[in-house]
Structure 1
Amino acid sequence: MCRLSGTKSKKEMIRVVRTPEGEVVIDDTGRKAGRGVYLCRRLSCLEKAYKEHRLERSLKTDVAAEIYEKLRHALL
């Protein structure tokens, strides 16, 4: 999600996954099965992703407001 490609490792980012069952979850381990996207650990990245529906487009499903709140708390 962050346009700083090549500057951050996966471990420095937050992974969000759409599981095979269709549930959207934050993947703390980086190993959950499913379609995943990475979000940098800056509040500005999260706000841009929310405003532009980037998670929804990348995961090809709706993302509940609860997930955005959990991401916000993880960044603070």
Structure 2
Amino acid sequence: MTMAITTIRIDYATFPEGFDLSRPDAIAEVIEQALREIGIPADASDVLSHLKIELPTAQLGAASRTLAEMRLI
């Protein structure tokens, strides 16, 4: 069975204060860990001007809530 994957892209220019934009890999790790803690097998990575998050489409709602709580979306 194939799982549908969703990609979320967040421009670094929209990040709230408190994120160290000089360390994009660390930001990706923090976000990935936050999603994994709620059971979402996400993969976050730095892509020059934005952060890319890939996750199962079935868990998009839960991921969106977590990202909203982090003030990222």
The answer to whether the superposition gives a TM-score over 0.5 is no
Higher strand share: 2
Q: TM-score, normalised by structure 2?
A: 0.31
Relative contact order (alpha carbons < 8 A, sep ≥ 6): 1 or 2 greater?
2
